[in-house]
A and B are shown apart, each in its own frame.
Chain A
Amino acid sequence: MSAPPEPTIVVDGVSKWFSGVVAVSDVSLVVEPGVTALLGPNGAGKTTLLRAIGGLTQPSQGTVTVFGERMRRNPALYRRIGYMPEHESVYDFLTGRQFVELGARLHGVADVAGASSRAIEIVDLAEHQDRRLGGYSRGMRQRMRLAATLVHDPPLLVLDEPLSGTDPAQRLHLRDVIRALAAEGRTILVSSHILEEVDELADRIHLMVSGKLAASGDYRAIRQKLDDRPFLVRVDCADPRALAAGLVRVEAVESVEITGTTGVRVRSRDVSSLQRALPAVARDRGVRLTRVEPLDDSLESVFEYLASGTGR
């Protein structure tokens, strides 16, 4: 039996607070080779945690080790790390190529021109490399920043919201690039606030909510937890009493509440069964449905549910 892969990143009990506001609270996790996603709504503490992992900020508590070494105040370790910050600011007066070459020089790359050309080729921006960054679209800027991040061919990439600002075609391209880089044996940690975005991207997902780690696992495990949570659905119809009477007999329905003269609120843990049962009950009772709407299906509410502990 082969030994489990050595974790590239070990986060141990990390907390970070700013003037009394807790941004990250006692987070422990490991990141191994492959693509790992840090998922959570805006303000969940993802960027703060990534900044602690990248050595840009000192954790108030806890430790971060990367390749077995302390990250903070250890600049030599950046030879093995490519870190793409969340904010999109760049040196607008540089061309895309100059920006990538600057990164290569500062990383001590031997063949600056060759490495820069390869990195720009990977993100498919060779055609635009001699334009100033100030004139780039958001998506192009993201891709050129990715080129500068991987120009020294690091075994670890930390990418904070790398798909943000990209159009669907660019997103697909970047996703393929990230998957290909991981297939070469790299460890890649990406953050995102969109669950579907990480579906085909990440092997493992760490969910963060309100500064805490809410859940960890692969996409299927996270999806299962999401499916297991109670859903609240609003149904508008001509005869809510008749519909409610039918729905209470459905096994998948936990509770039904009549709201006003035209609606019911249905709570269920098995949304698939409810989806099948609802039209059948309406048909049997002769009730015409005018509206079916999930009431708490926003990503934030999903995250809040998982963070509450009931979803673990």
Chain B
Amino acid sequence: MTAIFGLTVRQLAGSRRLWLVLGLVSLPVLAAVVFRVGDSTTTSARFADNVTRTLVASAILPLVMLLFATSAFGNELVDRTLGYLALKPIARWRIVLPKLAAAFVVGGIPVAVSGFLAVALVGGGGALRGALATGAGLLVGAAAYAALFTWAGLATRHALLIGLVYVFVWEATLAAYLDGIRFLSIRRYTLAVIHGLDGARLATIENPLSAGAALVAAAIVIAGFTALTVRKLVRMDVP
């Protein structure tokens, strides 16, 4: 599996989108630096919450994961190189898991590090705990997004469009205001885990999920979409 993991990391990290992603993940850190050197009237905790909630968890994390995870198989389908993996004597899950892991590592870790650094730089009381909670919550969200968008990249040619609709229509609008569907929002899982690990963070979210429920829901998303991806790869005609 390490061969496919290494191959996919090189595919994803070697593309121009890496520069776009580096630009995106540097934004929270820049915002934190500006906050520290500037003369802001906002408290450190509120600023950290705003950066985490409105910038990192709502936009940067899903966008970065969308770009990388849809490409994990999407690139192979466009380049018609998937056959080089499909024509090998390996179980299909052994193709899917390393691709998923590569998308998580290349996309999720830079975003988690960015969130960690931003909250740590903003400072204030309990900054380190808040930064660790932010990083951990973002990693949970990254894993769930990776599973969802990797499946989408294999299942449809319109994965990017569908992903954007999910992130900016479903999560940002519907799931933000309709409590009944908050269990179907990866963004809500991310925020719930951060709040669960550090109760001082994101305390203003209305009707939050418990961290336990968010972790279970994220695990179901990860397992479910991974299984769907394997099933799709087994049944599809490989181009």
Known contacts A51-B237, A75-B91; 9 additional CB pairs below 8 A are A56-B87, A57-B237, A57-B238, A76-B89, A93-B11, A103-B88, A105-B3, A106-B85, A108-B89
Contact (Cβ within 8 A) A93 B10: yes
B interface, how many residues as a size bin? 20 to 34
The reply on B197 being an interface residue by CB < 8 A is no
**Contact code string A73-84 (vs B, CB < 8 Å = 1, else 0):** 101111101010
**22 pairs from A and B in contact (CB 8 Å cutoff):** A54-B87, A56-B83, A56-B237, A56-B238, A58-B235, A75-B90, A76-B89, A77-B89, A78-B88, A81-B87, A83-B83, A83-B87, A85-B87, A89-B80, A90-B81, A91-B7, A102-B7, A103-B84, A106-B89, A106-B90, A107-B88, A107-B89
Residues of B within 8 A of A (CB): 3-4, 7, 10-11, 14, 79-81, 83-92, 234-235, 237-238
Chain A's closest residue to B87 (CB) is: A83
The reply on A276 being an interface residue by CB < 8 A is no
Contacts of B88 in A (CB 8 A): 75, 78, 103, 106-107
Q: How many residues of A contact B (CB 8 A)?
A: 28
Contacts of A83 in B (CB 8 A): 83, 87
Contact (Cβ within 8 A) B11 A106: no
Contact (Cβ within 8 A) A91 B89: no
The reply on A87 being an interface residue by CB < 8 A is yes
Please, how many angstroms separate the alpha-carbon atoms of A120 and B92 in the complex? 28
Please, how many angstroms separate the alpha-carbon atoms of A230 and B11 in the complex? 55
* A90-B81, A93-B10, A103-B84 known; A75 vs B89 contact (CB < 8 Å): yes
Contacts of A55 in B (CB 8 A): 87
Contacts of A106 in B (CB 8 A): 3-4, 85, 88-90
Contacts of A77 in B (CB 8 A): 89
